């Protein structure tokens, strides 16, 4: 079963568009564990156990593990995910982008070491930086397109050269066209588009009508749920709406996992209500 098929089954099984991002910051852990990087696995595993029946996907961010020399804990977490939620796709948020043998090593890291179902990639270096990931036939690759941060305007919103009669398309539009067309040779590509830019999200959906879209920016970043679903969700065209901090740090006390579940339930319900209006 490939990544897109796993997404469709997970959405139906858990009735969810919600992706919980696993961005463990020991400085924000509950009081008894605060500052203890040795508890990264324990914290994330508790979040997973509390939300595994509510989510479309999980998205561990590799930097939060690597910064604390906790890659071994990430491996344990990935094994735990496979054990307790084998039906839920896991996206490794790594934003890799290199060419040749280096890209092959990054692909091996994501898909063989960590056994992720998909990985986030930067397309800045072109197709030959993406192709090694596509050799893993059942896996997905989600390309940065129109990201949720304001600084994305500095490159992603810039216009390319036109034909002299009309301005050229914007860079994010070119990425969406390539991902939907020439680059998507085996149907493995998706795009990352921020919830903080619903108009651009709608434009990407227009250019890539069937691709999965990973949509960060709901929750702590303030993206609007209803606008996100209206712009990006279509039947048979999944959106993976990520919330990290709002779920992970819903409580700073011993009840953090229970609080995370309450926020996840509320976010899933809000997403589903918005989706119901589109059906």
Dist. CA 241–CA 225, nearest whole Å: 9
Q: Which of 28, 59, 95, 139 is catalytic?
A: 95
Positive/negative CA dihedral, 243, 244, 250, 254: positive
Active site residue 139: no
The residues annotated as belonging to the active site are 95
């Amino acid at each position: 079963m490939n990544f897109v098929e796993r997404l469709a089954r997970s959405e139906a099984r858990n009735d969810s568009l919600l992706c919980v991002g696993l961005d463990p910051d020991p400085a924000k852990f509950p009081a008894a564990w605060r500052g203890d990087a040795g508890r990264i696995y324990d914290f994330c595993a508790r979040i997973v156990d509390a939300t595994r029946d509510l989510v479309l996907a999980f998205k561990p961010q590799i930097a939060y593990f690597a910064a604390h020399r906790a890659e071994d804990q990430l491996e344990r977490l990935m094994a735990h995910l496979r054990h307790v939620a084998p039906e839920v796709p896991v996206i490794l948020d790594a934003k890799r982008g290199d060419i040749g043998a280096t890209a092959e090593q990054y692909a091996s890291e994501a898909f063989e070491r960590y056994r992720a179902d998909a990985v986030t990639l930067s397309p800045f270096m072109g197709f030959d930086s993406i192709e090694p990931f596509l050799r893993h036939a059942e896996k997905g690759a989600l390309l940065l397109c129109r990201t949720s941060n304001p600084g994305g305007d500095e490159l992603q919103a810039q216009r390319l050269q036109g034909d002299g009669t009309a301005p050229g398309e914007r860079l994010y539009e070119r990425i969406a066209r390539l991902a939907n067309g020439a680059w998507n040779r085996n149907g493995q590509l998706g795009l990352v588009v921020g919830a903080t830019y619903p108009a651009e999200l709608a434009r990407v959906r227009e250019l890539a009508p069937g691709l999965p879209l990973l949509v960060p920016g709901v929750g702590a970043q303030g993206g609007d749920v209803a606008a996100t679903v209206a712009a990006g969700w279509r039947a048979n065209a999944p959106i993976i709406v990520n919330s990290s901090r709002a779920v992970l740090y819903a409580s700073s006390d011993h009840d953090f996992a229970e609080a995370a579940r309450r926020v996840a339930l509320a976010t899933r319900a809000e997403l589903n209500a918005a989706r119901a209006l589109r059906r």
